[in-house]
Amino acid sequence: MLSSSSRAFISVAPNSLSKTLISSNFVAKPRNLSSFSRQFFHLITLKCNSNRNHNHRKMASSVSTRASAQQLKNPDELIDSVETFIFDCDGVIWKGDSLIDGVPETLDMLRSKGKRLVFVTNNSTKSRKQYGKKFESLGLSVNEEEIFASSFAAAAYLKSIDFPKEKKVYVIGEDGILKELELAGYQHIGGPEDGDKKIELKPGFLMEHDESVGAVVVGFDRYFNYYKVQYGTLCIRENPGCLFIATNRDAVTHLTDAQEWAGGGSMVSALVGSTQQEPLVVGKPSTFMMDYVAKEFGISKSQICMVGDRLDTDILFGQNGGCKTLLVLSGVTNMEMLQSPNNSIQPDFYTSKISDFLSLKAATV
Ligand SMILES: O=C(O)COP(=O)(O)O
């Protein structure tokens, strides 16, 4: 049985293609597709990934098919078994604007062993360039090309489906998304400047919206308001074929290291509520960024270890990509959550923080 949102996507697809894709369970990528069909294939694949995540969460109380995570005891064995480490940022490298202990030395050690390091974040408030500056301000030397943020993923996704340049993107989110859309050559409206807008209601008032908006991108937004919800809702519901793209659905984020703050998932859920549609998620755990990284650097996914602090984004992202996975307890997940009978997402290994790579090494010498 298809969800109402799946039906909404299928209604924009050519009938024969939709039947093929649905009956083949979306496993194989059809060849020789027209640009429109390719776009639909991408939609349905990402949709499928985001549904899988949703189902995964729903099934979290059912029997786990994976062995329980093992505590990391011999980091060298893990380090030697892969050529690339993908690090999540918030909760692994930093918390808010505070660097987590031992990170610079750990990254230096991995680089000295010839490991490729890639940094992936679901936080869309900054562009790759802006994240480059954040790494620098924390004393970490990381190239822009090694950083993959969900703001970049939103623009890269639109490029991958040949999203028409004459269409506009309505943004509910911050500067990072706007910057990445500009770099990709897309016109955008909305963003922080709609943060001050209020709706003056009077009888018969009808809010106008731009009919050339072909995609609504929703990410973490500290300037979120009712105007934006209504504007995005009108575009998705009334502009034929308008895409609903979420950079991420994280429940919480670290605006500061002192507490957990409502994350990008809260803004996305407002639009899910009003449109009754599920978004295409381009951030973790969707495989879009993983596929992009693997292709960009020509890496085999079995040669990657994904390191993250969140089970339903980072660890699932690694597992969806067929990578090794390491959970660190320096962010939003604690031992109780990992071992809870309600959690079915088990990484290969867990440890308290990434600098355990150094201290455990010292202990085993
Ligand atoms: O801040 C967020 O929402 C998530 O950020 P992360 O992917 O770097 O953990």
Mean pLDDT score across all residues of the chain: 85
Q: Is the CB of 247 under 6 A from ligand 1?
A: no
CA distances from 57 to 26, 52, 115, 287 (A): 21, 8, 33, 17
Contact (Cβ atoms closer than 8 angstroms) between residue 70 and residue 348: yes
Over 70: is that where the pLDDT of 167 sits?
Answer: yes
Q: Is the CB of 263 under 6 A from ligand 1?
A: yes
Distance, CA 123 to ligand 1 centroid (Å)? Answer: 5
The per-residue b/e assignment along 35-45, b for 16 or more CB within 10 angstroms, e otherwise, is eebbbbbbbbb
Over 60: is that where the pLDDT of 12 sits?
Answer: no
Over 60: is that where the pLDDT of 27 sits?
Answer: no
The rounded distance, in Å, linking the Cα atoms of 207 and 181 is 26
pLDDT band at 61 (very low <50, low <70, confident <90, very high): very low
Q: Is the CB of 125 under 6 A from ligand 1?
A: no
pLDDT band at 65 (very low <50, low <70, confident <90, very high): low
Distance, CA 229 to ligand 1 centroid (Å)? Answer: 22
Query: Nearest 5 degrees, angle CA 57-CA 63-CA 68?
Result: 90
Indicate if 149-194+203-283 has the same CATH topology as 70-122+298-364: yes
Q: Each residue of 272-317: pLDDT tens digit?
A: 999 999 999 999 999 999 999 999 999 999 999 999 999 999 999 9
Of residues 19 and 293, the one with the higher pLDDT is 293
CATH superfamily label, 149-194+203-283: HAD superfamily/HAD-like (3.40.50.1000)
- CA 11 vs. chain centroid, Å, equals 26
Distance, CA 130 to ligand 1 centroid (Å)? Answer: 15
pLDDT attached to residue 56: 43
**What is this model's ipTM?**
0.97
pLDDT attached to residue 58: 39
Distance, CA 89 to ligand 1 centroid (Å)? Answer: 7
Q: Each residue of 113-164: pLDDT tens digit?
A: 999 999 999 999 999 999 999 999 999 999 999 999 999 999 999 999 999 9
Identify the residue whose tokens are 């990484």.
Answer: 347
pLDDT attached to residue 345: 98
Of residues 278 and 360, the one with the higher pLDDT is 278
Cite the beta strand spans of the chain per DSSP E. Answer: 70-71, 84-88, 94-95, 98-99, 116-121, 147-149, 168-172, 187-190, 213-218, 243-246, 252-256, 259-262, 280-281, 304-308, 324-328, 349-351
Over 50: is that where the pLDDT of 109 sits?
Answer: yes
What average pLDDT does this structure show over 167-180?
Answer: 98
Positive or negative, the Cα torsion across 81, 86, 91, 95?
positive
The per-residue b/e assignment along 93-118, b for 16 or more CB within 10 angstroms, e otherwise, is bbbeeebbebbeebbebbeeeebbeb
pLDDT attached to residue 31: 33
pLDDT attached to residue 23: 26
Q: Is the CB of 264 under 6 A from ligand 1?
A: yes
Q: Each residue of 234-250: pLDDT tens digit?
A: 999 999 999 999 999 99
Please identify, by atom number, the ligand 1 atom nearest to the C-alpha of residue 332.
9
Please identify, by atom number, the ligand 1 atom nearest to the C-alpha of residue 283.
7
Q: Is the CB of 88 under 6 A from ligand 1?
A: yes
pLDDT band at 365 (very low <50, low <70, confident <90, very high): low
Q: Is the CB of 91 under 6 A from ligand 1?
A: yes
pLDDT attached to residue 1: 31
CA distances from 179 to 229, 230, 267, 273 (A): 21, 24, 20, 28
Over 80: is that where the pLDDT of 47 sits?
Answer: no
Q: Is the CB of 356 under 6 A from ligand 1?
A: no
Please identify, by atom number, the ligand 1 atom nearest to the C-alpha of residue 254.
1
Over 70: is that where the pLDDT of 205 sits?
Answer: yes
Residue among 95, 253, 260, 327 whose CB has most ligand 1 atoms within 8 A, to mutate: 253
The rounded distance, in Å, linking the Cα atoms of 334 and 327 is 10
CATH number of the 70-122+298-364 domain:
3.40.50.1000
Q: Is the CB of 89 under 6 A from ligand 1?
A: yes
Distance, CA 49 to ligand 1 centroid (Å)? Answer: 19
pLDDT attached to residue 67: 81
Q: Is the CB of 279 under 6 A from ligand 1?
A: no
The rounded distance, in Å, linking the Cα atoms of 307 and 229 is 34
Identify the residue whose tokens are 């790494």.
Answer: 135
Catalytic residue among 83, 136, 145, 336: 83
Contact (Cβ atoms closer than 8 angstroms) between residue 326 and residue 306: yes
pLDDT attached to residue 288: 97
pTM of the model: 0.83
83 an active-site residue? yes
pLDDT band at 264 (very low <50, low <70, confident <90, very high): very high
Please identify, by atom number, the ligand 1 atom nearest to the C-alpha of residue 313.
7
What average pLDDT does this structure show over 99-117?
Answer: 97
Burial of 60 from C-beta contacts in 10 A (0-12 / 13-18 / 19+):
middle
The rounded distance, in Å, linking the Cα atoms of 144 and 142 is 7
Q: Is the CB of 121 under 6 A from ligand 1?
A: yes
Please identify, by atom number, the ligand 1 atom nearest to the C-alpha of residue 253.
1
Burial of 90 from C-beta contacts in 10 A (0-12 / 13-18 / 19+):
buried
Please identify, by atom number, the ligand 1 atom nearest to the C-alpha of residue 264.
3
Q: What are the residue boundaries of the structural domains of the chain, listed by start?
A: 1-63, 70-122+298-364, 149-194+203-283
Over 70: is that where the pLDDT of 49 sits?
Answer: no
Q: What is the Rg, in whole angstroms, of the alpha carbon atoms belonging to the chain?
A: 21
